[in-house]
Amino acid sequence: MQTSAPSSAVLDELKTALGPGGWTQDPEVIAPSLTEWRNRWTGNTPILLTPRSVEETAKAVTICASEGVAITPHGGGTGLVGGQVPFGEVLLSTRKMRAVRDVTPLDDAMTVEAGLTLLEAQQAATAAGRYFPLSLAAEGSATIGGVISTNAGGTQVLRYGMMRDLVLGLEAVMPNGDIFRGLKRLRKDNTGYDLKHLLIGAEGTLGVVTAATLKLFPIMRSRAVAVVGLETAAASVELLARAKAETGGGVEAFELMKRLGMALVLKNIPDTREPLDSTPDWYVLIEIASGAPGAAEAQMEALLEVAFEQGLITDAAIAQNDAQRAAFWRLREEHSAALKPEGGGWKHDVSVPISRIADFIDEASAAVERFHPGARISVFGHVGDGNLHYDILPGVGQDIPAFIGRWKEGSQVVHDVVGTYDGSISAEHGLGRLKTEEVKRYKSPLEIETMAAIRRALDPKRIMNPAVLF
């Protein structure tokens, strides 16, 4: 969707409202914000706005609203579905709103601005003797506003939930320029519709998130990480159930990886090494945390002993220090980057019921083979919450451009299987430009119209990220 460019008068009004340092039209400064990480989209904008406060953000949105000028909000730019890429819209970045406004350990809460990176938020919590659990590969550049707007998941959803579960309060600028001041630290507020939940996961379509109050947790006193080998994906589901039972809910991460993905990491990512003595068909990375010193290590050893006895795993390695723990995690986190040198592929971010993960993998793989014989399938993701990254690569020696040209039909093959399992075609990355139209194939008319009605009520001119959602 291409929108009409704002007039020079509107641009001048925006420049005056935000003042020096609050905007730029320098192509070199703007360029990094116009291209999606995988180079699928490269957009354009007449101006990049960089407000430094919620008040400046409100000024900019008010001007755009009065003139019917479209806005694309932008965080860290790490999204993979194109929701942050403008095509003629004013680009509004929260990068200069980076303050840690408040950390209250007794409330297990902190309030931070939207432009703070996820890593910086984690560090602010740690400095106060608390733990903020959301973690993902792009945490050094992904921003708080971005992970809220996409309702990001990450590796620890199993224990702590999605970003939606970690937000206590929000501050945001609504599509008409009004400021929603909802930065509460309350766990209980049963006074009608919870407006913050409309903004979480809305991908910037219902307003610009400018700050958030986040839940914090105690710092765990022991932590253990292991990589194990398995013969089947089905064994990982059984192992997960055993791990949760053995640790009393102490499992923080449970990441599945197919051999193909591991092999490509070892091939394409420098300074990586095979974590096991064997090369199994499937790997699982397990992280256990406990509030008691030494407890996580003991639980991990007990779990793996039982798993070996029951034939659930064929090999295992427990990290012996922080460096080895980081090395194990790097094998998982570099999966997406490792696929890129193979010439591209059809990437899918899907979820199915945990109990049906293995069946889904088998059925989807058979469907893909029928559609495109010889294609290579890489599966990795979060078994603990049913979220799989199901990526399809061209077979060795196949015509890569021809393969890439079939991605829409190929994705539909995968997503149709997801639909039969009552799954979701977007588990943690949102819809963006990539899936907004496709998801209508899987959503009911009632769902689509209800969401469209909410949007019409809050953004009648459809100026907020107009190409995204309903």
pLDDT surpasses 90 at 35: no
Quote the tokens at residue 462: 């459809």
Enter the DSSP assignment of 426. B
Closest C-alpha to 5, from 60, 45, 56: 45
Task: Note whether 265 and 334 are within 8 A (CB).
Answer: yes
Q: What is the pLDDT of residue 37?
A: 74
Angle between helices 407-420 and 357-371 (to 10 degrees): 150
The last residue of one of the domains, among 289, 317, 337, is 337
Enter the DSSP assignment of 4. P
Q: What's the distance, CA 201 to chain centroid?
A: 10
Largest CA distance in the chain: 74
CB atoms closer than 10 angstroms to residue 381:
28
Q: Determine which of 27-41, 312-326, 402-416 has the lowest per-residue pLDDT on average.
A: 27-41
Task: Note whether 135 and 163 are within 8 A (CB).
Answer: no
Same domain assignment for residues 124 and 203: yes
pLDDT surpasses 80 at 3: no
Q: Confirm whether 317 is domain-assigned.
A: yes
Q: CATH number, domain at 324? A: 3.30.70.2190
Same domain assignment for residues 331 and 397: no
Same domain assignment for residues 105 and 203: yes
Quote the tokens at residue 306: 């039982």
Distance CA 197, CA 189 (A): 13
Q: What is the pLDDT of residue 2?
A: 53
Q: Which residues contact 109 (CB under 8 A, 6 or more apart)?
A: 102, 103, 168, 185, 213, 214, 215, 216
In this prediction, residues 303-318 reach a mean pLDDT of 95
Same domain assignment for residues 283 and 302: yes
Provide the percentage of residues in the chain whose pLDDT is more than 70: 99
Same domain assignment for residues 319 and 365: no
387 sits in which H/E element: strand 387-393
Write down the H helix ranges in 38-164. 54-67, 118-127, 144-149, 157-160
SS3 assignment, position 410: helix
Closest C-alpha to 417, from 442, 438, 448: 442
The last residue of one of the domains, among 96, 115, 131, is 96
Closest C-alpha to 82, from 90, 93, 72: 72
Task: Note whether 302 and 246 are within 8 A (CB).
Answer: yes
Q: What is the pLDDT of residue 39?
A: 75
Distance CA 391, CA 386 (A): 15
Same domain assignment for residues 189 and 270: no
The last residue of one of the domains, among 311, 337, 363, is 337
Q: Determine which of 21-25, 33-37, 269-273, 319-323 has the lowest per-residue pLDDT on average.
A: 33-37
Q: What is the pLDDT of residues 55-80, one digit of tens each?
A: 999 999 999 999 999 999 999 888 87
Same domain assignment for residues 209 and 232: no
Enter the DSSP assignment of 335. H
Range of the domain at 316: 222-337
Q: What is the pLDDT of residues 184-212, one digit of tens each?
A: 999 999 999 999 999 999 999 999 999 99
Q: CATH number, domain at 108? A: 3.30.465.10
Distance CA 159, CA 438 (A): 31
Same domain assignment for residues 79 and 106: no
Same domain assignment for residues 229 and 212: no
Confidence of residue 136 (pLDDT cuts 50, 70, 90): confident
Q: Confirm whether 186 is domain-assigned.
A: yes
Provide the percentage of residues in the chain whose pLDDT is more than 90: 83
Tally of structural domains, the chain: 4
SS3 assignment, position 376: strand
Same domain assignment for residues 323 and 414: no
Distance CA 214, CA 170 (A): 9
DSSP structure string for 145-185 = HHHHHTT---TTHHHH--GGGGEEEEEEE-TTS-EEEE---
Distance CA 307, CA 245 (A): 12
pTM: 0.89
Task: Note whether 351 and 389 are within 8 A (CB).
Answer: no
Q: What is the pLDDT of residues 330-373, one digit of tens each?
A: 999 999 889 888 887 898 999 999 999 999 999 999 999 999 99
